[in-house]
Amino acid sequence: MGPAATWLPAVRRLLPGLAGAGAADHVALTFDDGPDPRSTPRFLDELARLGCRATFFVLGEMLERHPALGRRVVADGHEIAVHGWHHGNALAAAPGRTAAEIGAAARLVMAVTGVRPAWYRPPYGVLSAEALVAARVLGLRPVLWTAWGRDWTRSATPSSVLAALAPGLRGGATLLLHDSDHTSASGSWRSGLGALPELVARCRSAGLRVGPLRDHGVSGVSGSRGSSGSRGAVRRHPVLHHTPGTAAPGNTGDAENTPGPWNGFHDNPLPTTRKEKPGAFQ
């Protein structure tokens, strides 16, 4: 499968698990690009008011800046997952860079929240072979979406978000929205936030439950894991020594605070200051 093939509707129809197709009576609500102190708390407050839980796909660079907000996501009962470090396109990345960033983000999620992430969603939906292998090594399940609200544009409104989601709003759907404008038009997150009450109401009126991916019954996933605490107690990685506010694990110290190069799947996913037992995070 080519790196950008996951964009194609035909591919996603043939691979419903990759698209996030789930139980017929459930809709998975997911958010990308946070945590962002300007907007994520508003989403958390609104979800609490609506009595909903969701999955938040966080960027490592955002979580490193706002670790307390990442902890709040989990404390509020939501699921936290990996969206990479920067919002980079795997097609333009140097060899090893995508894998390094996935590894750094996954370890940071554990260091900050104490939760082992279960899911990885590639930026732009571009899933390269390198990203697939890295996700597998890290125990992450790649997942895309079945419907999106196109809430990243400057012209997006709550009505336009609902209209974009409507054709795919059915049982088993995985919905993509954004809780941050970090990689999109300034203030665009307000359109998704404004659409939430009506979106949830429509699902419930159709007899559909709304919740995170861990409760979605995605094809090929036996049991849920992640912040729900299933599959046993959370295992801590022996090299998770990152302190919030300092360079992330594997950081090279460059101006962009970019994780260092991939160092082999059977040794260390990223350079560290201590010897790591092979496979400890698998």
Asked if residue 9 is part of any domain, the answer here is: no
Residue 123: inside a domain:
yes
Looking at the domain assignment, is residue 12 inside a domain? no
Res. 266: pLDDT tops 80: no
What percentage of the chain carries pLDDT values higher than 70?
A: 71
In the prediction, which pLDDT does 56 show? 98
Residue 267, domain extent: 27-282
Q: Is residue 18 part of a domain?
A: no
pLDDT of residue 257: 40
Q: Which residues of 240-266 are buried (b: 16+ CB within 10 A; e: fewer)?
A: bebebeebbbbbeeeeebbbbebbebe
Q: In this structure, is residue 13 part of a structural domain?
A: no
Catalytic residue among 78, 178, 237, 242: 178
Instruction: Assess if residue 65 is contained within a domain.
Output: yes
87 given a catalytic annotation: no
Per residue in 209-253, pLDDT (tens digit) is 999 999 999 976 544 443 333 333 323 332 222 333 333 333 333
Whether 237 sits among the annotated catalytic residues: the reply is no
Among 26, 32, 66, 83, the active-site one is 32
**Among candidates 145, 152, 155, which has minimal Cα distance to 57?**
145
The reported pLDDT for the residue numbered 207 is 98
- Tell me the pTM: 0.77
pLDDT tens per residue across span 46-99: 999 999 999 999 999 999 999 999 999 999 999 999 999 988 676 667 888 889
Instruction: Tell me: pLDDT of 112 over 70.
Output: yes
Per-residue pLDDT at 93: 76
- State how many domains the chain has: 1
DSSP state of 151: T
Q: What is the mean pLDDT of residues 37-49?
A: 98
Residue 232 lies in a domain: yes
Q: Is residue 192 part of a domain?
A: yes
CATH number for the domain that contains residue 113: 3.20.20.370
Range in 33-42, 53-62, 183-192, 217-226 the model is least confident about? 217-226
Instruction: Answer yes or no: is pLDDT of 188 > 60.
Output: yes
